[in-house]
A and B are shown apart, each in its own frame.
Chain A
């Protein structure tokens, strides 16, 4: 294993360990997801809108906002005791520092999604069946992209006075393209359409991932270096 990757894994491992001890972000994101799903479940009128029409939007609204909550913690943990200075001072490339933070965020958001998805199936009684592989691919591809941007923005806003407020304001516009395509991909999947119909949407999500992961890695140094 290369030195850079070792550094990135050490940073990601540290973030995971800290989160496992505090559980603040995971718990708040998971509770938020449960509440949103419950509200949508009890507020909907199944005779007015078919579940299959409503479910994709509900799923992605829940995932999007729960993810923002989960990502808010990425750099707030670094504020305590000036700990981020310790990371910036270490002989770790800024790219690998970003990758470490990114991997931890990705793990958090995937865990939140892993909690959300079964609850979503339970509340909305959506039979995933053959849609599951396509849905998992959509979730993974969309998450890879917006977590990349979220990690970058969470580094950008951490020194501002209203970091928790600033992150969604900055991030949500960048989440719109992957969310739109994720919803558009999920609709035919829930309608039982074949996987081949959603391939263009998945391609777009993959392109978004390549573009924004690359951009975020390249821009991270400019964001954290004073």
Chain B
């Protein structure tokens, strides 16, 4: 049965080429509040291009992306306000402390009391005692937690995650899953790009497989991960 709510994200006819390579070929996507889309595909399938297009970081050569009713374009900075991005890079400045990084992000998102918000998020990530440390002084897992805090500083309605489990150990991975489960409720939606479906399988409500810049599969999450692996292998082989 189709969801009753209006889509939070609507992408229509997204196309992007890099020279002769078609990264996206007229892709459509609707994401409703509460959706968690697990996005899979072989290398070069267009996953990161789609994610960056949904974030407004990449201008598609054709098509549009609408988030919370506003079309993404460089001319409308407020259209990007509901979007948060957690990538395999932390987006943190190495020469600023964790607190300074988060306060800066808070200022750019017009948070009324950015320092209080930064401290609250660092406390939730068990990093408050390290608030005066710089990112490079932290372990990979801690850096990822700091990056999560930065991504959530404005409480985004759409959270985009590009291989968020890369480099995390099992404990840090579990912690991230718990946090994402807690975050994605009610009015929010998430897209998780990963090479390993098992990493975010329990979080997902839908699963998409991209091959050659097109949807090879876009369905509600199947019950059985093992059976899905077989589908994935067949589709990824083309």
Chain B interface size range: 20 to 34
Q: Which of A53-100 contact B (CB under 8 A)?
A: 77, 80-83, 85-94
Contact present for B100 and A17 (CB under 8 Å) = yes
Residues of A near B150 (CB, < 8 A) are 86
The reply to whether B104 and A81 contact each other, CB–CB distance below 8 Å, is: no
* Secondary structure type dominating chain A contacts: helix
B64 interfacial contact with A, CB 8 Å: no
| Known contacts A18-B95, A22-B95, A82-B90; is-contact A91 B109 (Cβ 8 Å) | yes
| Given A89-B85, A90-B105; A3-B110 close (CB under 8 Å) | yes
Q: Which residue of A lies closest to B104 (CB)?
A: A14
Q: Which of B60-116 contact A (CB under 8 A)?
A: 74, 77-81, 83, 85, 87, 89-96, 100, 104-105, 107-110
Verify A90–B94 contact, CB threshold 8 A.
Answer: no
Q: Which of chain B's residues has its CB closest to A90's CB?
A: B108
| A81 and B80 contact, Cβ closer than 8 Å, known pairs A14-B104, A89-B56, A225-B59 | no
Range, interface on chain A: 20 to 34
Task: Compute how far the CA of A55 lies from the CA of B97 in the bound complex, rounded to whole angstroms.
Answer: 44
Instruction: Report whether B55 and A89 are in contact in the complex, using a CB–CB cutoff of 8 Å.
Output: yes
23 A-B contact pairs sorted by A residue (CB < 8 Å) = A3-B110, A7-B107, A10-B104, A11-B108, A14-B96, A18-B93, A18-B95, A21-B95, A80-B93, A81-B91, A81-B135, A82-B91, A83-B91, A85-B57, A86-B85, A86-B92, A88-B57, A89-B85, A91-B77, A94-B74, A221-B74, A226-B57, A226-B58
B: residues with CB less than 8 A from A are: 52, 55-59, 74, 77-81, 83, 85, 87, 89-96, 100, 104-105, 107-110, 135, 150
